[in-house]
Amino acid sequence: MKKVDVVGAVIYNEKNEVLCALRSQQMSLPGYWEFPGGKIEDNETPQESLAREIKEELNCIIEVGELVVDATHEYPNVIVRLITYKAKIIDGDAVASEHEKLLWLPLNKLKELDWAPADLPTLAVIC
């Protein structure tokens, strides 16, 4: 089975809200919420990959913080290793270019969303 290593950002704002990204109809798992990020490219550290992916997907610059979770989820057709880090935006404002919608939510509201299965271990740690 195919294995993919990806990174995700748990981006906090000044109100201690977390940025949630809704997967679009063009993505796999459309309609699920996720922590934004993407695939780790060859010769990149997870942190470098996360900064690049957020710049590409959300058009902003983040500072990558501490590791939240390094977890693996087996979907029917792929095994996803998702490494999530705390982050904050240091330049620009997050704009959805690939995702259907972005939403800032307080920690106590995160579990109300329908999250992609690979993101659930991160959710369990931060909530």
Question: Half-sphere exposure of 7 toward its Cβ, with a 13 Å CA cutoff?
Answer: 23
Q: Say how far apart CA 64 and CA 80 lie, in whole Å.
A: 21
Token pair of 48 as six digits: 């470098």
Q: Determine how β-strand 33-34 pairs with β-strand 17-22.
A: antiparallel
Q: Say how far apart CA 21 and CA 127 lie, in whole Å.
A: 17
Looking at residue 82, its amino acid is L
pLDDT at 27: 85
Looking at residue 97, its amino acid is S
Residue 117 burial (CB count, 10 A): 13
Per-residue pLDDT 10s for the chain (127 aa) are 999 999 999 999 999 999 999 999 988 888 999 999 999 999 999 999 999 999 999 999 999 999 999 999 999 999 999 999 999 999 999 999 999 999 999 999 999 999 999 999 999 999 9
Q: Say how far apart CA 40 and CA 103 lie, in whole Å.
A: 24
Tell me the domain boundaries of the chain.
2-126
pLDDT at 69: 98
Nearest to 62 by CA among 39, 91, 95: 91
Nearest to 63 by CA among 9, 20, 105, 18: 9
CATH code for the part of the protein at 2-126: 3.90.79.10
Contacts of 77 (CB under 8 A, 6+ apart): 1, 2
